[in-house]
Amino acid sequence: MPQRKLDVVLDSVKRLLRVGATSNLVNLLQKQHPADLAQLFSELPDKDRQAAFSLLVERNSKLAMEGLSELGPEAGAALLSHRSAEEIVKLTQELPSDDAAAIIDYLPEELSVAVLEVIQKRPAGGDVGDLLEYPERTAGRIMNPKVFALSEEMTAGEAITALQNSRDVEVVFYLYVIDARRHLVGVVSLRRLLLVPPATPLKRIMTTDLISVHVDTDQEEVARQVASYNLLAIPVVDEENKLVGVITVDDVIDVIKDEATEDVYRLAGLSGDDRVFSTPSESLRKRLPWLQVNLVTAFLAASVVALFEGTIARWATLAVFMPVVAGMGGNAAMQTLTVIVRGIALGELTFANTRKALLKEAAVGLANGFGCGLVAALVVWAWKGSPGLGAVIGAAMVINMFVAATAGTLIPLGLRALKVDPALASSVFITTLTDVFGFLSFLGLASLLLRYVGAGG
């Protein structure tokens, strides 16, 4: 079990740091896989992390940077942020340019600008500078511009030789074939190359019907294509269909995880980069404004209750059951909202089948309303001995859960039609709606009961 093995290493690292046994420490770190190194870094207190990284960088800067990169761009940038722009440029050159670009992007504003200035002066750093010119969250930003490509004039044998001489290309998944002007014309698998006689022209064995993405394609769309066509890599082309990079499946996995986190986060009114170990002040800066928006909507719902203050003054029992109706609506709405938002994210819900989804959720909402409303009515009747109040809570619950289901479907779909992320229809807005409708239907019906029948009716 890898976790336990790593715990042993972690303890040793802490101990060696404490006693200052730096050369033993570096030897131990040297033996770790970059992913394990990242895990170790993330579990060390801030000071120890910085110390361990600094020691390793002096001995093996490539491994140190790979470990840093596996931490993710934000935490990675934090580890570099006290260094000079020149040092950072030198160190990030140990990384693939897409990873380097992501880290530089997360450096503090001034440092990031300084780093880019240094890079622009060096021809070797051009790749990273180029990547940062593509908009965030696009294929261009996450692609690796070092893509191995073969000329369509080659034979299978020549292709194998070319491959054997391409030392600096780390992993080759598919071999892309280009014409004289670098237009992407086909793809051939490594295995296919082995199966044909060496003299076979690539043109004859390549597949021309290949899937590619444009540099401007949204990263989520890239991930969806790689996942649905089960690809290991997808080529990236510019507006003239020239091959400019490749996105591999490991980068796609990171995108899928990030997008999933983003969806969960937005539903809860959180910013995507608010992580477990963001500093308290960072997390506060990101959460408090959202909670204050929330506070405004909560007072909106409170003002609905205020309309019925007179009714409540006459019949205080209403205040006891009022939150039950609102809360149940909120929970039902969250269920619907989650199914719809996730359905959109996974591509299961399209414009073509919107109506079907709405009808289904409305039906489920009504049925849930009857299922819960009946129980609530009986409980209230038994508890307070008032069949009238029981009927009011039951009816209010049916109304509110129907509203919850339709709003939970329509709001995210409407946002998507407006090209806004549907997950932004977060719990905050939906629960305000279910609070307002819950209070309105329950207190409204109770007022009518009070006027025409009297409390206890």
Which 279-298 positions form the footprint of its own copies (CB under 8 A)? Answer: 279-280, 283-284, 287-288, 290-292, 294-295, 298
CA-to-CA distance for 46 and 404, rounded, in angstroms? Answer: 45
Q: Which is nearer to its own copies, 51 or 249 (CB)?
A: 249
Q: Contacting its own copies (CB under 8 A), which of 67, 125, 269, 394?
A: 269
Cross-strand partners of 188: 175
**Radius of gyration of the chain from its Cα atoms, rounded to whole angstroms:** 30
Sole binder of its own copies in the list 190, 382, 417, 448 (CB under 8 A): 190
Query: In this chain, which of 277, 448, 454, 457 binds its own copies, going by CB under 8 A?
Result: 277
Residues numbered 433 to 452 that lie near its own copies (CB under 8 A) are: 435, 439
Provide the minimum distance between the beta carbon of 118 and its own copies in the complex, in angstroms, as a whole number. 29
- Residue from 184, 247, 337, 449 in contact with its own copies (CB under 8 A): 337
Q: Is 453 in the site for its own copies (CB under 8 A)?
A: no
**Longest Cα–Cα distance in the chain:** 96
- Give the number of other CB atoms < 10 A from CB of residue 291: 12
DSSP-derived pairing of the beta strands 243-248 and 233-237: antiparallel
User: Which span (56-64, 130-138, 199-207, 254-262) binds its own copies, by CB under 8 A?
Assistant: 254-262
For its own copies, the binding residue among 93, 112, 219, 368 (CB under 8 A) is 368
By CB under 8 A, is residue 334 in contact with its own copies? yes
How would DSSP label each residue in 156-203? HHHHHHHHHH-TT----SEEEEE-TT-BEEEEEEHHHHHHS-TTSBHH
Residues that bind its own copies (rule: CB under 8 A) add up to a total of 119
CB of 253 to its own copies, least distance (A): 5
- Of the pair 16, 85, the CB lying nearest its own copies is at 16
Question: Which SS3 state, helix, strand or coil, does residue 297 take?
Answer: helix
Residue with tokens 């019925």: 308
Which one-letter DSSP state was computed for residue 146? -
Minimum distance, C-beta of residue 251 to its own copies, in the bound complex (Å): 9
Residue tagged 């039609």 (tokens): 417
Of 152 and 254, which CB lies nearer to its own copies in the complex structure?
254
Q: Sketch the per residue contact string, 396 through 415, with its own copies: x for CB under 8 A, - otherwise.
A: --------------------
DSSP of 92-156, one letter per residue? HTTS-HHHHHHHHHHS-HHHHHHHHHHHHH-GGGHHHHHHTTSPTTBHHHH-BS---EEETT-BH
Interface pick for its own copies out of 5, 62, 204, 356 (rule CB under 8 A): 356
Q: Which of 21, 162, 172, 395 binds its own copies (CB under 8 A)?
A: 172
Partners of residue 201 on adjacent β-strands: 155
Q: Judged by CB under 8 A, which of 335, 378, 381, 410 binds its own copies?
A: 335
Length of the chain: 457
Considering only residues 26, 79, 237, 340, which one is a binding residue for its own copies as defined by CB under 8 A?
A: 340
Report how far apart, in Å, the C-alpha atoms of 224 and of each of 229, 256, 347 are.
8, 8, 8
